[in-house]
Amino acid sequence: MKERVTELEADNIKLRSGIKKFEKDIEDIERVANRLKAEREKVESVVREEFSERLVILENEAKTAKSELVEVRTRNKLEVERMTKAHDTEMEEVQGRVKAAFLKRDEVIKELKEKATSAATRADHLEQLLMKQREELLRPRPNP
C-alpha cells in the first residue's frame, strides 16, 4: 500500500505540476490577450484620431472649394455683365452708324432724285428749244 501511496503522491505531484503549468499557460494567454486588447484599443484610438483629422481636413477642403466656387461664379458673373455691357454699347454704336448710313443714303437718293428731276426739266426745256429752233430753220424764209 505504501507503494500505492507513493505512486499516488507521485501522480499528485505530476498533476500539481501540470496544473501549475496550465495556470502559467493561462496567465501567459491572459497576458497576451490583455496586451492584444490594449493594442487593439490603441489602434482603434489611432484610427479614430486619423479619421477625425482626415475628416477635419476634408471639411476644410470642402469649405475652401465652396468659397473658391463662389468667388469664381462671382467673377464669371461680373465678366458676363461686363461683356454684355460692352456688347450692348458696341451694338448701340453699330445701330447709330447704320442709322447714319441710312440717313446719308436717303439724302443721296433725295439729291439724285432732285438732280434727275432738274435734268429731266432741263432736257424738256432744251428739247423744246431744239424743236423751236428746228421749226424756225425749217420754216421758209421770206426772200428779201
| Residue-level pLDDT, tens digit, the chain, 144 residues | 888 888 888 888 988 999 999 999 999 999 999 999 999 999 999 999 999 999 999 999 999 999 999 999 999 999 999 999 999 999 999 999 999 999 999 999 999 999 999 999 999 999 999 999 988 888 877 766
pLDDT confidence of residue 103:
96
**What's the confidence (pLDDT) of residue 4?**
82
In whole angstroms, how far apart are CA 14 and each of 17, 23, 27, 77?
A: 5, 14, 20, 91
Q: Residue 41 has what pLDDT?
A: 93
| DSSP annotation string for 58-105 | HHHHHHHHHHHHHHHHHHHHHHHHHHHHHHHHHHHHHHHHHHHHHHHH
pLDDT of residue 74: 97
